[in-house]
Amino acid sequence: MSTKLFSELGLSPEILKAVQRLGFEQASPIQAEAIPVLLTGRDMVGQSQTGSGKTAAFAIPAIERLDVSIPGPGVLILCPTRELAIQVSEEVHKLGYFKKGIRPLPVYGGQSYDRQLAGLRSGANVIIGTPGRVIDHIGRGTLKLGGIRTVILDEADEMLNMGFRDDIEQILSSTPSQRQTVMFSATVPRAIEELIARFTRDPARVRIESKAMTVPTIEQAYFEVDRRWKFEALTRLLDRHDVALGIIFANTQRVVEELTEELVGAGYTADCIHGGMAQGARDRVMNKFRAGGLRLLVATDVAARGIDVDDIQIVFNFDLPYDPEDYVHRIGRTGRAGRSGMAMSFASGREVFLIRDIERFTRQRIRRADIPSAGEIEEARRDQHLNGLRETLKAGDFRHYDHLIEALLEEGFDSLDVASAALHQLLAKSGEETAAAKAPAAPVGRRPEPSDWDSAQPDLPPAPAPSRPRPATPAPAPAAAVPARPATPAGPRVPKAPKIPTPPAPAPAPVMERPAPREIEPASVAAVPEPAPAPTPTPRPVKPTAPKAPYVPKSAAKATAAPTPAPAPESGPEGESAPVEAPIEVPGAKPAGRVRLWIGAGIENGATPENLRELILGSTGEPDASLGRVDVRERHAFAEVPGDRAASFVSRLKRTEFAGKRIKVKIA
């Protein structure tokens, strides 16, 4: 496929000036193929890998063909996520900067209706939105689609996967039949083909083939490591590659939040973004990440297609995605615009088979690598210090300490020894600070000690072995006080002899920790008859457990009568978190009807039916039709959901945040 310049595509001077302002000269393959077709007004289906420039491929023709003299919206662009809608809106604004009358407006859930209504009243003519919010505006009568000339579906396959098919069909049916319909998608499954057959007219097919679906400038590797060691492996790779800007993907919101806390505790500047966060919080995190205020961003797949930062150095798959296509979108966040990048994945157990699926899907081999050892980490740290010193020397921007060096030289020290001592002190101080920074992360219960992880690796030095703190704690007891204790407690501590009922002492552990009982053995033998009353056996023959068996039917009978007080959670106290799981099965007896969810957010928290509706649908990914009436009270709210989907709603909303606080959700 021959490359083309933007000047060869027949674009207006205003667009060419905007493209030049953005620093682009040569069009990407999808841009070179799609722009001429779309300028003619023909329907089109475009298929290309992520990060290939699809946004400009459909935005430039849409701006060129828009008649700004006609009031009202003329272009409608549908996106699956809020982040992608914001990104496309910014791109349209940049490309139409010199084109008079171009007024893009992002429309998505989680944003105030007032701002969107003001933009629509002011004459916005390029609407970029998510299907749910666009449907809301159509229903309110605030968005008129009678003047739409071009409809664009960006990431159409992802919108269908998120359950927006009915919304898309309703939106397309509300637009004029003579419109231009454009669909861009990484894949074209059967559902997309059905939409194409129903809503397009003889569309042109533009497909950019490549030997590998992933970007060739991305270095890919995976590490086969047990789930317990993932965090330790992650920190070693972060230190080894001196990551300045990176993204870490996980599969669930819970893992994202826990991983962020551990990274912050280990001394890294990190924050998280996922679908359960309020839109304002997500915007703040993304703005901070773009500005370089964050070193690491931990995210779920919801944000994978909305992160547009060009300088991302590395992408980590802390959890492998279940869909190989999501892997392509994840690692597409690095290696953009011809830059090089790295993508590293962790696989444990059966997850290795997911690696094989990804390799077959991308038609590219992923290299298996080993976690760097402690020696390699130290060597990398020395190289980093050396590079820093080299850059400082080249720049010449440092304070001179000639008088201190001359004083040491006059005392007879060699100049090389002076420099070596200074570097030794610098590296030692840096190593102490690094160890101190990572110390808070060590006690986390769900992962073992780093020393244990080192001992499991054959190439690591044996030095970490004596650093285990647990065997060291009982050491002071046998050191000095053990020989002196048997003399004094021999008389009064005879009653404690029954606690050691095995004179032969076959167990080595108590002998190592407390050698004193051996000297007490004569007294303990004499005291053996005293345990005759055997207070310990008495609880064993007690048979209260036997009568409990016949009482089980009574408890079961009480359980059957329990549904009557079940509506009590309406008060929603903090202590009622435990019964949340039990009531889930109670209303399951009516799967055909609807049940009410109790939500711990009300008017005093700023809740409204609209923002709660957006929160529930955005966090669960359920279609709009699945959510019934939302009733907001003073301190809580109720939402009607299908009975057979109630458990799914509760499980997905449990860790959702509203107004900066995590809310409780249960079946009322």
Query: Residue 103 domain-assigned?
Result: yes
Tell me: pLDDT of 558 over 80: no
> 266 and 311 share a domain?
yes
Round to whole Å and give the CA distance between 127 and 131.
11
Q: Which helix (H) or strand (E) holds 351?
A: helix 351-362
What is the DSSP track for 425-492? HHHHHHHHHHHHHHGGGTT-TTS--HHHHHHHSTTS-STTGGG-STTTTTTHIIIIITTTTTTTTTTT
Q: Which of 350, 374, 398 is the last residue of a domain?
A: 374
Judgement on whether residues 647 and 593 belong to the same structural domain of the protein: yes
Pair 111, 48 in one domain: yes
Q: What is the pLDDT of residues 428-470, one digit of tens each?
A: 665 544 444 443 333 333 333 444 444 444 343 333 333 333 4
β-pairing, 180-185 with 150-154? parallel
Question: pLDDT band for position 484 (50/70/90)?
Answer: very low
Beta strand pairing status for 630-632 and 637-642?
antiparallel
Regarding predicted confidence, which is higher, 232 or 618? Answer: 232
- Minimum mean pLDDT range among 47-56, 159-168, 605-614: 47-56
Q: Once rounded to an integer, what is the mean pLDDT over residues 277-296?
A: 86
**Between residues 261 and 544, the one the model is more confident about:** 261
Question: Of 374, 404, 439, at which residue does a domain stop?
Answer: 374
Rounded CA separation 384/382 (Å)? 5
For residue 487, the model assigns a pLDDT of 42
236 and 185 share one domain: no
Confidence at residue 574, expressed as pLDDT on a 0 to 100 scale: 40
For 616-662, the pLDDT digits (tens) are 887 887 888 888 889 898 888 999 988 888 888 887 787 678 877 77
DSSP code at position 373: P
Most confident of 247-251, 483-487, 590-594: 247-251
Task: Say if 572 falls within a structural domain.
Answer: no
Question: Alpha-carbon distance 66 to 75, whole Å?
Answer: 7
Q: Is the pLDDT of residue 426 over 80?
A: no
Range name among 43-52, 295-304, 322-331, 484-493 with the lowest pLDDT average: 484-493
What crossing angle do the helices spanning 82-95 and 279-290 adopt, rounded to 10°?
A: 50
Look at residue 323 in the predicted model and tell me its pLDDT: 75
Residues 145, 118 share a domain? yes
| Domain presence at residue 121 | yes
Q: Which of 117-126, 241-250, 295-304, 467-476 has the lowest mean pLDDT?
A: 467-476
pLDDT at 166 over 50: yes
In terms of domains, do 293 and 436 share one? no
Pairing of strands 44-47, 314-317: unpaired
Tokens encoding 198: 């129903």
Q: Which residue has the higher pLDDT, 554 or 184?
A: 184
Average pLDDT for 326-342: 76
The pLDDT score that the predictor gives to residue 488 is 40
Q: In this structure, what token pair is assigned to residue 617?
A: 């649908």
Query: What's 653's domain CATH number?
Result: 3.30.70.330
Indicate whether 587 pLDDT > 50.
no
The least confident of 78-92, 164-178, 653-667 is 653-667
- In the chain, what percentage of residues exceed pLDDT 90? 26
Separation between Cα atoms, residue 268 and residue 590, nearest integer Å: 49
The one-letter amino acid code at 310 reads: D
Residues 225 and 368 in one domain: yes
Q: Are strands 126-129 and 246-249 parallel, antiparallel or unpaired?
A: unpaired
Q: Please say if the pLDDT value at position 585 is more than 60.
A: no
DSSP β-bridge partners for residue 105: 127
pLDDT tens digits, residue range 120-144?
999 999 999 999 999 999 999 999 9
- Distance between terminal CA atoms of the chain? 61
User: Is 518 part of a structural domain of the chain?
Assistant: no
For residue 115, tell me if it sits in a domain.
yes
Q: What is the DSSP letter of 544?
A: S
548 domain residue, yes or no: no
Among candidate residues 210, 217, 185, the one with its CA nearest the CA of residue 332 = 217
Residue 329 belongs to domain spanning: 218-374
Where does a domain end: 176, 207, 238?
Answer: 207
Judge whether 617 and 109 are in contact, CB under 8 Å. yes
Is 281 within 8 Å of 347 (Cβ atoms)? no
| Pair 32, 166 in one domain | yes
Total of domains in the chain: 4
Which residues, at least 6 apart from 427, have a Cβ–Cβ distance to it below 8 Å?
A: 381, 382, 385
CATH code for position 332: 3.40.50.300
Cross-strand bridge partners of residue 152: 77, 182
Q: Where are the alpha helices (DSSP H) in 66-221?
A: 82-95, 113-121, 131-140, 156-161, 165-174, 190-199
Asked whether residue 5 carries a pLDDT value surpassing 90, the answer given is no
Shared domain for 430 and 450, answered yes or no, is yes
Q: Which residue has the higher pLDDT, 610 or 392?
A: 610
Predicted local confidence at residue 129, as pLDDT: 94
- Give residue for tokens 């053996």: 528
252 within some domain: yes
Where b means 16+ CB within 10 Å and e means fewer, 440-471 reads ebbeeeebbbbbebbeeeeebeeebeeeeeee
* pLDDT value of position 604: 83
What pLDDT is recorded for position 600?
87
State whether 435 and 316 are in the same domain: no
- How far apart are alpha carbons 223 and 229 in whole angstroms? 11
Sign of the torsion angle spanned by Cα atoms 301, 304, 306, 311:
positive
* Range name among 55-59, 164-168, 368-372 with the lowest pLDDT average: 368-372
Please state, rounded to an integer, the average pLDDT across all residues of the chain. Answer: 74
Q: Which residue has the tokens 């861009």?
A: 184
367 located within any domain: yes
Report the distance separating Cα 114 and Cα 121, nearest Å.
10
Are 276 and 420 part of one and the same domain?
no
Are 390 and 362 contained in the same domain?
Answer: no
> Do 178 and 43 touch, CB atoms closer than 8 A?
no
The segment with the largest mean pLDDT, out of 204-208, 302-306, 387-391, is: 204-208
What was the pLDDT predicted at 553?
Answer: 44
pLDDT tens for 172-208 read: 999 998 999 999 987 888 889 999 999 999 999 998 7
Of all residues in the chain, the percent with pLDDT exceeding 70 is: 68
Taking only the tens place, the pLDDT of each residue in 514-536 is 444 444 444 333 444 444 444 44
